[in-house]
Amino acid sequence: MNGPAANGAPAIAVEGLECRYGGTTVLRDVSFTVSAGELFFVIGGSGCGKTTLLRHLVGLAAPAAGTVRYFGEDFTAAGRAERRRLLRTFGVLYQSAALWSSMTVAENVALPLELYTPLSRRERQEIVALKLAQVGLAGCEEYFPAELSGGMRKRAGLARALALDPRIVFFDEPSAGLDPVTSRQLDELILQIRATLGTTMVIVSHELASIYALADRVILIDRGARGIVAEGRPRDLAAASPDPRVREFLTREAEKA
């Protein structure tokens, strides 16, 4: 969990990834690396393929070409058993939290623990309590997802993503549908979890406030270029990127203000 990878490989290494959706190529020749413990943002306008890239990274869609490696291990070419093991190195928080609606919050968080750990029922309950306390939902075990507010649902989804203490967590538009205050609280939570557990975080977003507050490094994806047009620290890019598209995206708020 904490500490660098044993073999010193980057947490995520993507090489020459090509993503197709239906018959059309959405992204081509995407390459980047994310080091362990980094807060990495994938940014870009609506419909540029951010979510498609995320789906390819977590294995929900198969890439047309290229490789994805987690801590040096090839995820794209992995066999069934190897793939299942690698899937446990990361957790995903979906845009709509994707909590299983027929289960309580506690059951949602406990399911991965039940399937993949040797813990007893009582021990699982303790881990569930810890995860919920970590995301600020202590005592909400017995609620059903439908009884929670949008922000609480996101937190519960995060607790489930963290259940197995993954080394990487993916976020798909974490602040979508949240008010600015709740959204900022979620940002703080992300920082706090990184500080305690050293988790690598990959966040797909177009929320400028979160990008500036959290990101160590960003890649900007552009719809026209069908790939990465910029990579670096958000403030550096906003100030000194030679590409006007990049400056425009990152300073949109500033210009308005």
Q: Which residues bind other proteins (CB under 8 A)?
A: 1-3, 6-7, 72-73, 88, 100-102, 113, 116-119, 123, 126-127, 129-134, 138-146, 164-165, 195-197
CB of 89 to other proteins, least distance (A): 10
Cα dist from 229 to 44, 117, 124, 226, whole Å: 10, 42, 45, 9
Q: What one-letter code names the amino acid at 136?
A: G
CB of 69 to other proteins, least distance (A): 10
* Residue 105 or 230 with smaller CB distance to other proteins: 105
CB of 152 to other proteins, least distance (A): 13
* Residue 27 or 132 with smaller CB distance to other proteins: 132
Residue 34, both tokens: 């994310």
> Rounded to 5 degrees, what angle do the CA atoms 245, 247, 249 make?
70
* Residue 7 or 46 with smaller CB distance to other proteins: 7
CB of 183 to other proteins, least distance (A): 21
CB of 51 to other proteins, least distance (A): 19
Please name the residues in contact with 191: beta carbons below 8 A apart, sequence gap of 6 or more: 39, 214
Q: Which of 158, 149, 159 is nearest to 129 (CA)?
A: 159
**Alpha carbons 255 and 171: distance in angstroms, whole number:** 28
* Residue 26 or 36 with smaller CB distance to other proteins: 36
**Alpha carbons 198 and 67: distance in angstroms, whole number:** 25
Total count of residues recorded for the chain: 257
> Rounded to 5 degrees, what angle do the CA atoms 227, 233, 237 make?
70
* Residue 130 or 176 with smaller CB distance to other proteins: 130
* Residue 155 or 206 with smaller CB distance to other proteins: 155
CB of 214 to other proteins, least distance (A): 19
